[in-house]
Structure 1
């Protein structure tokens, strides 16, 4: 039997939970996308959540987080849903305990499960519809993203389900620079640059159909079967769903051409010589259509 103190404590916890949720929702409603170019985004450290809309490609939004745990609580479950499901019979949004076990099994934490995220509005809407169907309790941070999408006219709630109003728009997430702190690794200026460039490469792939078609041809017609297999093995190490070919192609171009961080990607990590990696990059660069990012 619960004591009066237990009942009071439980009531207070509910109130605190409700107040946190309300604060998150108010924050989402207060958020407005700030126009900025690559350099502005890279060099800004606001110390608070900022949402950028890329000036020369307004179909790309960037959630710029002042902390890796904050970013993880906002996007880890979404990324697991869109990129890392390989054995499920159908798409499934993980519950809180399932997600915690999944992250632990990957020997990760909320802070370092992924350092950047990319997702289409169409995928976000699917995520929120499946979580609604399965009655998944979402984090306040995830609910804040959903409310932001509705507030910005990117999605709507209509006749009992969420609907994408601009399905081809892409949402990215990156961390701001930070010193190492309890439970979170350091994010150096160099790391922020590499994460931002890598995620914007995904944005380019999603929003530039000419570039996407080129990447698909490069994957099928230029890379050898052995090289494609090497990329699959490399991506399997990060728990990507390698049975999803579109995902493989998108990640291939982002790692090959837009990840200037040898801790994340290198010839050794891919399993090729430096000369072979350089040859792949030169071949890719020669055939690529015009894009908004600097090719390596």
Structure 2
């Protein structure tokens, strides 16, 4: 009993220390505009927010460092994607979050490589944190302040309200070499993460594409294939009882994650021919989405 407690305290202390070292990044974000190719090839050593020109509802936070990315988004992602069946959803304290990530055999730097959040999700997160008096990281407060400054949310009588509830905030990491407790991240991985997250934005903001994905899930896959996706996602602690979340992740992994390290037939638990057949069926139906559909692992825009 004492050993896990000690390990979790060490993880928490290391996370807090990393936050102090990265505190220079906390503050106003630089805002730019760009399309997929512009964003992918951009290099930055400070956080940048991209207004995604093909879709005005989407903003992308481009983060220089996986630890910084995790301290900004891991806690809200744990709330929105992994607490669906909780009778009393709540924001984890920093110690609870460190323990949760440690129990998943992860760190703040590799808990998730990218994130997609609706403004309504973020409003719920900040309201619950205030309700329960949970002290957040400086990076999370910086994100909240940015949303307030941009008029995406507002504070009214002690509560946060969404001004644009259906707008989407995505996050992606910069390319980096291995450093400290952070893994390396290649150009190919950055592209796969960017495509994956943009497909989530399409699912949230493109009603025709959302309908297409739901139809494909219901009629384009067999029950055993649907169960394979549920099992794959459950292994990463997604709340698979949330069918909307499962369908959203299905389309993102199936077609928009050209990285065998993140998604493959072996990881899904199916044959190569079965996975290829699912992908071909999805593309053959002509999904109404403005993203490249046949990207192969290793290809860049």
User: Same fold, TM exceeding 0.5?
Assistant: yes
Measured in 1, the distance between the counterparts of 2:213 and 2:289 equals 12
**SS of match in other structure, 1:162:** strand
* Unpaired segments ≥5 residues, structure 2: 1-19, 295-301
Offset at 1:250?
0.2
Q: Name which of structure 1's ranges 31-40 and 212-221 shifts more when overlaid on structure 2.
A: 31-40
Give the structure 2 partner of residue 135 of structure 1.
Answer: 133
Give the structure 1 partner of residue 44 of structure 2.
Answer: 46
Measured in 1, the distance between the counterparts of 2:214 and 2:31 equals 32
Offset at 1:24?
6.5
Offset at 1:88?
2.5
Give the structure 1 partner of residue 168 of structure 2.
Answer: 170
Give the structure 2 partner of residue 279 of structure 1.
Answer: 277
* Maintained 8 Å contact 2:127/2:159: yes
**SS of match in other structure, 2:202:** helix
* Maintained 8 Å contact 2:85/2:241: no
Give the structure 1 partner of residue 113 of structure 2.
Answer: 115
TM-score, length basis structure 1: 0.90
Give the structure 1 partner of residue 225 of structure 2.
Answer: 227
Measured in 2, the distance between the counterparts of 1:210 and 1:33 equals 29
Select which of 165, 181, 206 maps to 2:179: 181
Offset at 1:22?
9.4
1:33 aligns with 2:23: no
RMSD (CA atoms): 1.7
Select which of 203, 215, 218 maps to 1:205: 203
Larger Rg: 1
Measured in 1, the distance between the counterparts of 2:278 and 2:148 equals 42
Offset at 1:33?
2.6
Measured in 1, the distance between the counterparts of 2:36 and 2:288 equals 17
Offset at 1:23?
6.6
Give the structure 2 partner of residue 71 of structure 1.
Answer: 69
Offset at 1:289?
3.2
* Maintained 8 Å contact 2:71/2:137: yes
What count of residue pairs does the alignment treat as equivalent? 275
Q: CA 1:295 to 1:21, structure 2 compared with 1: closer, same or farther past 3 Å? A: closer
Q: CA 1:156 to 1:23, structure 2 compared with 1: closer, same or farther past 3 Å? A: farther
Give the structure 1 partner of residue 14 of structure 2.
Answer: none
Give every structure 1 segment of 4 or more consecutive aligned residues whose post-TM-superposition deviation is greater than 4 Å: 19-25
Offset at 1:193?
0.7
